[in-house]
Amino acid sequence: MVVFIVRRLVISACVLLVATFVVYTLTALSGDPLADLRQDQTAQRAQKIAERTKLMHLDQPVPLRYVTWLAGVAHGDLGSTRTGQDVGGLLSQAVTATLQLVLAASVLALVVGIMVGIVSALRQYTGFDYAVTLGSFLFFSLPSFWVAVMLKQFAAIEFNNWLRDPEIPVQVIVLVAAVAGLAWSAIMGGNLRRRALAFTVAALSAGGILTYLSLTRWFADPGLGFAVILVVSLASAVGIATLVAGLRNRDPLYAALAAAGVGALSSLALNSVLADPTWAVIAGLALVSVVVSAGIGLALGGVQRRRAVTAAVLTGLFTGGLIFFDRFFQAFSGYSQRTFGRPVSTIGARTPNFTGGFWDLTWDAVSHIALPSMALLLISFALYTRYTRASMLEVLNQDYVRTARSKGLTERSVITRHALRNALVPLTTLMAFDFAGMFGGAIITENVFGWRGLGVMFRDGVMNVDPNPVMAFFIVSGTAVVVFNMLADIAYAYLDPRIRLT
């Protein structure tokens, strides 16, 4: 393993060295960096040209300029832009903005896309499968700039206007209820009677919930409350226990239910702690939740102690997340008032000169990042969904899966312990490129939503014939590609023991 990593690092360093020379040369020769100054009609024109020529070393040939830049990088100096700004400072700000923008979208697309892809493969050629296929192709084919503009118009501007009187029209309630019913009937599958029952229950539930939210003006002052936290936590405990150990094993189920009950009750005792916490306090509460849930699993797990601990810990963390979002939603009304009734933002990463407590600052960050992340999420979601479905279908037809079923293993064990692990092998390459691409930024989305990230930094450098910002971008993105591809190779060996790294 060590030999493999060292060899890959040496080869990658050589490749990056050659690539940096090519990129630097192409950028330097792509135009005239003095073009704007040549049109200057002031008396300082000659002085400005001389200053920029000295700053960018334009009196030297391109290869010598590259060597000068490389020597500076070796000493930790990324140089300056053609206007004299420090590239290192710009890079730090751009990396922070890009990671905030793209990380959440990539993680959500990965988790949700894989889950939907698995269900789509298990429900092959059903209504749900056809709906997912149609949606995936639709999302993947939509132009990102068009999606971004539509989100700004309808999910920000129109939604902010609607929040002044958040009453849901009856036709919208009927439409959403019908869509929910069709979706759940497709997911449940089975005969016509089962589908009709699923449609009815889902449609009535969705319609009833939306009617309640409309009558109580919930969107103007949202919150979950203890009753919702308790019910959703108990339901999640049943679902998590089913995935981890199956409903036949009662001890993990009881441990998960106990963790959900304890977590929901703790929400009543944490009001003062969560009034204005810090991220350190939130992390500490999450750690306490893990410890307490693990203790519950050990106490109630019996012979299924390991699975009981897993189910209890996952349920405890989920319940803690519900408590967090409950307090988060409760702060919405105050934040909306401070932003003059326009809580969903369309420009930038922060509201200028905005100050406040923990929840206000969190709302400010989320309101700025929500729409651009959604614009990026749709395309990645479609990609993960299609790849996961194809990979799962290929694995489910393998001999070892049929052997596992013939041995009497439950369908849950066959899917999670045998099929899914092998289906993730080809997806690992896609994950590596996707996460490495995060560091390349999202030029179109950043431009539409006014984010000063790596993509905009690269665009400005190319347009201004300014090699130093372009090279800073290339170092970050190129290094990310090397590192994540090496991690993918290591993950191959973990997912498939037949693979050896030599």
Q: Which residues contact 85 (CB under 8 A, 6 or more apart)?
A: none
What φ, ψ does residue 331 adopt, rounded to 5°? -85, -5
What pLDDT is attached to residue 407?
85
What pLDDT is attached to residue 500?
65
What φ, ψ does residue 296 adopt, rounded to 5°? -65, -40
What pLDDT is attached to residue 255?
93
What single-letter amino acid sits at 490? Answer: I
Strand partners, 80: 86
C-beta separation of 425 from 488 below 8 A: no
417 alpha carbon, distance to own chain's centre: 25
DSSP character for 61?
-
Tally Cβ neighbours within 10 Å of residue 498: 6
Tally Cβ neighbours within 10 Å of residue 358: 18
For every one of its 502 residues, what pLDDT tens digit does the chain have, with 9 covering 90 and above? 677 777 878 888 888 889 999 999 999 988 888 888 888 778 788 888 888 888 888 888 999 999 999 998 888 888 888 888 889 888 888 888 888 887 878 888 888 888 889 888 888 887 778 888 888 888 888 888 888 889 999 888 999 999 888 889 999 999 999 988 888 887 776 778 888 888 899 999 999 999 999 998 899 889 888 999 999 999 999 989 888 877 778 889 999 999 999 999 998 888 888 888 999 999 999 999 999 999 999 998 888 888 899 999 999 999 999 999 999 999 999 999 988 888 988 888 888 888 888 999 999 989 988 888 888 888 788 888 988 999 899 888 888 888 888 888 877 778 877 888 788 888 888 887 777 766 665 778 888 888 888 888 888 898 988 999 999 988 888 888 888 888 887 777 777 666 666 6
What pLDDT is attached to residue 438?
65
C-beta separation of 243 from 416 below 8 A: yes
The b/e string for 171-182 (b: 16+ C-beta within 10 A; e otherwise) is eebeebbeebbb
Torsion sign, CA atoms 196, 197, 202, 205: positive
C-beta separation of 441 from 98 below 8 A: yes
What pLDDT is attached to residue 82?
87
Q: Which residues contact 283 (CB under 8 A, 6 or more apart)?
A: none
- C-alpha distances in angstroms, 132 versus 120, 350, 423? 7, 35, 19
Q: Which residues contact 393 (CB under 8 A, 6 or more apart)?
A: 121, 124
What pLDDT is attached to residue 125?
83
What single-letter amino acid sits at 274? Answer: L
Strand partners, 86: 80
What pLDDT is attached to residue 483?
82
Q: Is 86 in a helix, a strand, or coil? A: strand
Cα separation, 259 vs 89, in Å, equals 46
Cα separation, 66 vs 467, in Å, equals 9
Cα separation, 81 vs 440, in Å, equals 19
- C-alpha distances in angstroms, 170 versus 177, 220, 316, 398? 11, 18, 37, 49
What pLDDT is attached to residue 139?
85
Token pair 């306090």 in the structure block, residue: 281
414 alpha carbon, distance to own chain's centre: 28
Nearest to 422 by CA among 118, 98, 137: 118
Cα separation, 489 vs 152, in Å, equals 39
What pLDDT is attached to residue 326?
93
What pLDDT is attached to residue 282?
94
Compute the radius of gyration of the chain from its Cα atoms: 27
